[in-house]
């Protein structure tokens, strides 16, 4: 007889993570990701973090947050020209360059939060984000040009704007004040490629987590192993 079913295990784990989260009504997407990652790692089954997060998003949000367009432009509504063919004009299409860099960044660091703060971000220089960015600056200048990153989260479309100066460095000023205002400003300078703003309820978590490959199977196998090999049940002794 099993110690508990797979659903009962998820029930207990959900409550533990929900009590520790204590912010959202239900589990936030990032907390659900940590719960699922813990199950895999406990069974020595390691997913690359960004791929696992995409699986979690696809299961609970039915979409995966991603960048679908990037333009270096003085007029974001103008028709852009590919960077490789650009000579002059109000807009440069840098979609391929930005997508390649951000995908590589996510694979390397396992996060879908892209930091554009000048004191902590990885893309302080435009050349680290856009291959050929320095040459692009020389052709376009920076007087009215900004980088517009178009992305989807939870099947909704958004735009994120980044400014670089004449030296190709982030034009944002970092503040050292330790207060709520500076904290919120720092968050504004981050690109959050994470879906689902509302919490995940327990019934939905148990139901939709079955879409993640091997997750329920690992818990089921662990239960069978404990039942047959490493059972903690001890036969009770009769009292005299």
Give the span between the Cα atoms of 56 and 39, in whole angstroms: 13
Domain chopping of the chain, boundaries: 6-63+198-228, 66-192
Give the span between the Cα atoms of 93 and 79, in whole angstroms: 9
pLDDT tens per residue, the chain (240 residues)?
A: 356 777 888 888 888 888 877 666 788 888 888 888 888 888 777 777 888 888 888 888 888 889 999 999 988 888 888 888 888 888 899 999 999 999 999 888 878 889 898 888 889 899 999 988 888 888 887 678 899 999 998 888 999 999 888 888 887 655 555 555 665 667 788 888 887 667 888 888 888 888 888 888 877 776 655 555 555 555 656 666
To which residue do tokens 């690359």 refer? 48
Contact between residue 174 and residue 119 where contact means Cβ atoms under 8 Å apart: yes
Confidence at residue 1, expressed as pLDDT on a 0 to 100 scale: 38
Reduce the secondary structure of the chain to three states and give it as a string: CCCCCHHHHHHHHHHHHHHHHCCCCCECHHHHHHHHHHHHHHCCCCCCHHHHHHHHHHHHHCCCCEEEEEEEECCCCCCCEEHHHCCCCCEEECHHHHHHHHHHHHHHHCCCEEECCCCCCCCCEHHHHCCCHHHHHHHHCCCCCEEEEEEEECCEEEEEEECECCCCEECCCCCCCCCHHHHHHHHHCEEECCCCCCCECHHHHHHHHHHCCCHHHHHHHHHHHHHHCCCCCCCCCCCC
Confidence at residue 90, expressed as pLDDT on a 0 to 100 scale: 87
Give the span between the Cα atoms of 131 and 97, in whole angstroms: 6
pTM of the model: 0.75
């Amino acid at each position: 007889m099993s110690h508990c079913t797979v659903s009962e295990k998820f029930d207990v784990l959900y409550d533990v993570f929900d009590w520790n989260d204590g912010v959202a009504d239900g589990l936030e997407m990032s907390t659900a990701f940590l719960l699922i990652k813990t199950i895999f790692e406990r069974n020595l089954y390691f997913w690359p973090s960004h791929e696992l997060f995409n699986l979690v998003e696809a299961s609970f949000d039915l979409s995966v947050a991603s960048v679908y367009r990037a333009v270096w432009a003085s007029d974001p509504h103008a028709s852009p020209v590919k960077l490789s063919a650009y000579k002059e004009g109000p807009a440069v299409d840098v979609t391929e360059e930005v997508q390649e860099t951000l995908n590589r960044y996510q694979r390397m660091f396992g996060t879908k939060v892209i930091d554009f703060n000048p004191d902590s971000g990885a893309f302080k220089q435009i050349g680290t984000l856009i291959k050929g960015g320095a040459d692009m600056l020389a052709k376009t200048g920076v007087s009215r040009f900004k980088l517009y990153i178009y992305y989807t989260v939870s099947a909704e479309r958004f735009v994120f704007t980044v400014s670089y100066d004449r030296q190709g460095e982030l034009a944002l000023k970092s503040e050292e004040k330790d207060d709520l205002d500076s904290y919120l400003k720092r968050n504004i300078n981050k690109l959050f490629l994470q879906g689902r703003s509302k919490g995940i309820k327990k019934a939905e978590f148990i139901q939709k987590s079955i879409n993640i490959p091997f997750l329920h199977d690992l818990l089921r196998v662990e239960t069978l192993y404990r039942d047959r090999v490493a059972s903690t049940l001890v036969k009770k002794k009769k009292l005299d």
